[in-house]
Amino acid sequence: MPILEVKNLNVSFKTIDGVVQAVNNVSFNVEHGEVLGIVGESGSGKSQSVLAIMGLLASNATVTGSIKFLGQELVGVNTKALNKVRGNKLSIIFQDPMTSLNPYLTIKSQMTEVLMLHKGMSKHDAVIESIRMLDFVGIPEAKERIGLYPHEFSGGMRQRVMIAMALLCRPELLIADEPTTALDVTVQAQILKILRDLQTEFKMSIILITHDMGVVANACDRVNVMYAGQLMESGSLDNIFYEPQHPYTQALLASIPSLEHEVERLATIPGEPPNLLALPDGCVFQGRCHKVHQECKGGDVVVQDFGAGRFMKCNLMQNLTNGINQGITSNVVVN
């Protein structure tokens, strides 16, 4: 059984300008022990879909659909029931560690609170366990430094503290929302290594949200590609990177400058993402797609299931036999 089952998830926000459809009919699973990457540009709904899982959406949000975590439905349950799961079996780390830690409390009191609340540990045991966890994420002199305040740590160290805190109760699922975006590359490499080590050590599942395809290639087993609130394509790491089917995935990969090979001009995706207040009829990518045709401009978009968890939302018909790509080349418009 998958550890997390998301079915037909919709998240919308009522604003003075109208209803913003942030997540649009998204379904996916997270299996035991896997790292699922969710990639997309800003406004693609990647963060809002995990905030919905955590029950952390803004108060003007409406959620429909189903989110089942370890068999338990999370949509529509009260805060008390959610709190039993959150921080315990289900944890999240955010992009900016400074704003997620309480600046008035020491790391010690913020960490021990979690253990005392969820595990009923004594203060003494909780401190020992917290130090152990800080050690694990590579904080030197954890025993002394646990008494410090968040501002006394550097950005990379604060992110380690966040990870340690999220892991205290040995969650089954860790959600990492752009955990390395605010960090330098050398520190990012350290944090990605910690995440990989953790995953092997604790056998937990991770949802890793990022806009950086390099981070995905480094850390993930499976990838969901989101655009304008919709799940455009999903597949294994190799599927997505070596045989992308969706025109958006293809264009996204082609537009990244690479360290390995050189191109004179980067391929670009013309135009900009659609306004979430007024999504077009039909496919949300139609305005920027170089393979767009009449049927993309209205009606439902076909979801093509290629088996083995690989699917895409696109009217363009693909015949995939044994995962071998037939009939498409990744010829992306260069403008």
Partner 1 sequence: MEKLLEIKDLKVYFELKRSLLGKKRIVYAVDNVSFDVYKGETLGIVGESGCGKSTLARSLVGLNDITDGNVVFLGKDNLAKADSKRWHALRQEIQFIFQDPVASLNPRMTVAEIIAEPLNVYYPKMKDEEVLAKVLDMMHLVGLSDNQINRYPQEFSGGQCQRIGIARALVLNPKLIICDESVSALDVSIKAQIINLLKDLQKKLSLTVIFISHDLSVVKHICDRVLVMYLGNIMELATKEVIYKNHHHPYTQALLAAVPSANPKVEKHKHVKPLEGELPSPLHPPQGCVFSTRCPLADDGCKSARPELRYMDDGALVACFKA
Residue nearer to partner 1 on the CB measure, 190 or 325: 190
Residue nearer to partner 1 on the CB measure, 53 or 231: 231
Query: Does residue 11 belong to the site contacting partner 1 (CB under 8 A)?
Result: no
Of 241-270, which residues contact partner 1 (CB under 8 A)?
241, 251-253, 255-260, 262-263, 265-270
Amino acid residing at 38: I
Residue 119 region by backbone torsions, left for phi larger than 0, else alpha for psi between -120 and 50, else beta? alpha
Site track 125-164 with partner 1 (rule: CB under 8 A), x = hit: -----------------------------x-xx-------
Site track 70-99 with partner 1 (rule: CB under 8 A), x = hit: ------------------------------
Tell me how far, at minimum, the Cβ of 178 lies from partner 1, in Å: 13
Site track 222-241 with partner 1 (rule: CB under 8 A), x = hit: ---------------xx--x
Query: Does residue 330 belong to the site contacting partner 1 (CB under 8 A)?
Result: no
Give the orientation angle of helix 185-202 with respect to helix 155-167, to 10 degrees.
10
Neighbours of 187 (CB within 10 A): 17
Site track 180-219 with partner 1 (rule: CB under 8 A), x = hit: ----xxxxxxx-xx-----------------xxxxxxxx-
